[in-house]
Structure 1
């Protein structure tokens, strides 16, 4: 694992992208000890393919810090308190009339980690696909395995920019860095992502049924066979199909996923972290540390909680001394911090069995299959110690219940589920802004740097 960690860190540096002008272009690598793009494009060695796979794992986690903080703030799951840079409060909370623009804090010119980083992972995957397809140094099955892995990660990563800009649309065709394709609508983008994920699943299936022929980090513990990787692909597809409102498609994808109704709710792949030369868990904070820059639980999460909910007790750590940050719109007080992590090297899950069970509940509710929906809801409720559901079996009531359970089951996971959930159900106006007097954003415009690239390309 130490050797892999070193390789992962080297690849993260060695395959750096040019993000200041064109987020879709990859540097020509000058390090003679690591593969350049040119060298891996034609008859790459198995070791070079391995480097690209490990580097893709590193790219795959690059979004975590900024997306967790920003989207969690937009959905008022958290406040990202930061006394040294008030924009974490004033801009992200939309205080005093602030609205997203093309250079918004944490996104546009000041937030490459939010917009460019997913595309960097997508392009890293493109390099892996080309390398895998154009080499005679690995078997046909291994080629399919590499392509399937790459497209699975691509599908996940494309959903990040798609949900940032929403109706403004994203580029999906970015294979040619000097001539990327046009922006397509949110709906068209989701449909294109489905094709990518389906192609990834088909490639993994074509690779056979044994072990994945390359080495993966501990983030894929329990998922290192081709069949298990297909389960991750299908789990991601289930999330995507919920956004597409393809409820039968959700259930079909879940049937091929790692969902287990009576299984560990925390089961699923993770983003691993570690000490140098790796990086630490970016959202871990020492309990009760005397800081004024920290992720805290939004007060409404406590206000709206069901009494004796185990999720509240397990996830929310009450500090001895609250964190206070003063903004130009008033003071924000954080009494609870994130209590999920035992150390700064804990892995972060990015899709879990608990989410899949809730997706099953949602799909059944949308299909007017209330009995199946309630069965899935009760698995979550009973695990949380709050007893079985006793409310109405109408679709509207069940969706209310599912969205409520998602708030607590998926709190502050590296996706910002509540913000996206509220938007896809036209409930952004239900998010509580009374504590910060802010605004709930619907979407962001394209960053100025990307539009400037179109102008540059046209010259």
Structure 2
């Protein structure tokens, strides 16, 4: 990659300030160790750290995989475009091609973000004590480990049992494709190491300016103390996914999830205020201009699966998320509804997206309580969400199945349009194949393949067996 001097990096950081909530720092989109000419300084840290966040957002926004295709596989979204039939033929109508956007997206982009974080970590020791204190270096290590863990979590959420490679500091090394359980264990360890770093930093703020999506939605994550809560939120989500793993469920992970999520939320079952449900870090989007990073679900070709409207309970105020639209038809499916934020408008293109909101954390904790057999605690968390939207509380479930059905209902409508949560839940609880076939050739895809580029690097044409 081209080498940039410290002066060039400083110029990039000044340009970033001029953009509306910019997390894009060009040309330093994926900084390398060589990006700094000489030792790392506070001035050169800003664009490099911002570049890490830029790549994380680009991985979510820049391809349709994470936000759109995953929700098609999760039976909540349709995207019907007569000029691009693969949104149906390679999701609900057949298997995704590793060489197409449908099969190969949401892969290399996350590794670019991980590499950016790795490279900045490698540069941290070069900063003198007058530029970055020991505490500030610890804070940065904790920040970078947390962001890497988040990107690995998304990669394995999308690839599931296909597995993914774990990148080393050498970006040219072709590493083994590791199985889901091994990747999840690695993510857990990275998050815990990040927590240790953050705790060692003490009560300070990060030595760079975070974008406003991290500072204006209930908590200011520019302080290390609040970023610890984000680290624990990711940890809790990961451990819930390990706890409900259909092939290797883990009670220990459910216990770890409750601990992490309670730390992140700061309150016990049923005690998180509804006013906190929107709290968390967010991605901010810009519809046009040099940044041009619109929210990808604001799309005239997106509609909702009719089952989304058919299944909502009377009196649920989340029904306002479902709106009528002109009928979309193609590929054997059709719909006349969409999500309110999916209608194409400048306002929707700039609508922020929660990365991990407290409302999701409450429902994740309910899932963990269910795995532990603590159904009264699960009901308390479910009801804290449910009653916020005009519904009567449920009685404590008498069976695990009842409890799972109750929490999945809340997650469907609280998290509509926010990512692959529904897909993950359907496949881990063994419910994906129980859905109706959307078209006659519906293969009930549960995950995406490795990208064609990744297969080519290994001299393969199909996904290899993963390594434990």
Instruction: Give yes or no for TM over 0.5.
Output: yes
Q: Which runs of 5+ in 2 are unaligned?
A: 1-13, 244-252, 461-468
Could you tell me how far apart the structure 2 residues matched to 1:412 and 1:78 are? 8
CA spacing shift, 1:277–1:9, aligned 2, 3 Å: farther
Q: How does 1:132-281 map to 2 (within 5 A)?
A: 132-136=124-128, 137-221=131-215, 222-245=220-243, 246-258=253-265, 261-262=272-273, 263-274=275-286, 275-281=288-294
Aligned residues of 1:72 and 1:416 also touching (Cα < 8 A): yes
What is the deviation of 1:83? 2.5
Deviates more, 1:38-47 or 1:212-221: 38-47
What is the deviation of 1:161? 2.0
Post-superposition CA distance 1:102-130 (Å, at most 9, x none): 3244232xx3xx11111111011111211
Give SS of 1:144's match. helix
CA spacing shift, 1:174–1:80, aligned 2, 3 Å: farther
From 367, 377, 380, give the equivalent of 1:362.
Answer: 367
Could you tell me how far apart the structure 1 residues matched to 2:204 and 2:110 are? 30
Q: Is 1:92 aligned to residue 95 of structure 2?
A: no
Deviates more, 1:251-260 or 1:376-385: 251-260
Deviates more, 1:83-92 or 1:7-16: 7-16
TM value normalised by structure 2: 0.83
What is the deviation of 1:145? 1.3
Match of 2:457 in 1: 453
Aligned residues of 2:135 and 2:200 also touching (Cα < 8 A): yes
What is the deviation of 1:437? 6.2
Q: How does 1:313-352 map to 2 (within 5 A)?
A: 313=320, 315-319=321-325, 322-327=326-331, 330-339=332-341, 342-352=347-357
What is the deviation of 1:334? 3.1
Match of 2:77 in 1: 78
Could you tell me how far apart the structure 1 residues matched to 2:368 and 2:38 are? 45
CA spacing shift, 1:326–1:81, aligned 2, 3 Å: closer
Give SS of 1:154's match. helix
What is the deviation of 1:250? 0.5
What is the deviation of 1:158? 0.4
Q: After TM superposition, where is structure 1 displaced by more than 6 Å over at least 4 residues in a row?
A: none
Match of 2:422 in 1: 418
CA spacing shift, 1:318–1:435, aligned 2, 3 Å: farther
Post-superposition CA distance 1:60-108 (Å, at most 9, x none): 1123242111100001111122232111122122x1xx22343244232
Give SS of 1:323's match. strand
Could you tell me how far apart the structure 2 residues matched to 1:334 and 1:13 are? 43
Aligned residues of 2:56 and 2:113 also touching (Cα < 8 A): yes
What is the deviation of 1:312? 1.6
Aligned residues of 1:212 and 1:226 also touching (Cα < 8 A): yes
Match of 2:319 in 1: 312
Could you tell me how far apart the structure 2 residues matched to 1:259 and 1:41 are? 43
Q: Is 1:283 aligned to residue 279 of structure 2?
A: no
Aligned residues of 1:259 and 1:357 also touching (Cα < 8 A): no
Could you tell me how far apart the structure 2 residues matched to 1:233 and 1:41 are? 31
Could you tell me how far apart the structure 2 residues matched to 1:87 and 1:217 are? 35
Q: Which runs of 5+ in 1 are unaligned?
A: 17-25, 27-35, 287-292
What is the deviation of 1:169? 1.4
Aligned residues of 1:144 and 1:207 also touching (Cα < 8 A): yes
Post-superposition CA distance 1:280-305 (Å, at most 9, x none): 4323538xxxxxx4221211001111
Deviates more, 1:239-248 or 1:431-440: 431-440
Deviates more, 1:418-427 or 1:386-395: 386-395
Could you tell me how far apart the structure 1 residues matched to 2:196 and 2:25 are? 27
Aligned residues of 2:295 and 2:351 also touching (Cα < 8 A): no
RMSD, aligned α-carbons: 2.4
Could you tell me how far apart the structure 2 residues matched to 1:299 and 1:90 are? 19
Match of 1:21 in 2: none
CA spacing shift, 1:259–1:104, aligned 2, 3 Å: farther
From 393, 418, 436, give the equivalent of 1:388.
Answer: 393
Aligned residues of 2:375 and 2:397 also touching (Cα < 8 A): no
Aligned residues of 1:103 and 1:448 also touching (Cα < 8 A): yes
From 439, 444, 448, give the equivalent of 1:440.
Answer: 444
Could you tell me how far apart the structure 2 residues matched to 1:312 and 1:367 are? 31
Q: How does 1:43-62 map to 2 (within 5 A)?
A: 43-62=39-58
What is the deviation of 1:243? 1.1
CA spacing shift, 1:238–1:204, aligned 2, 3 Å: same
Match of 1:23 in 2: none
What is the deviation of 1:42? 5.3
Q: Number of residues paired by the alignment? A: 419
Give SS of 2:173's match. coil
From 120, 124, 127, give the equivalent of 2:119.
Answer: 127
Aligned residues of 1:358 and 1:402 also touching (Cα < 8 A): yes
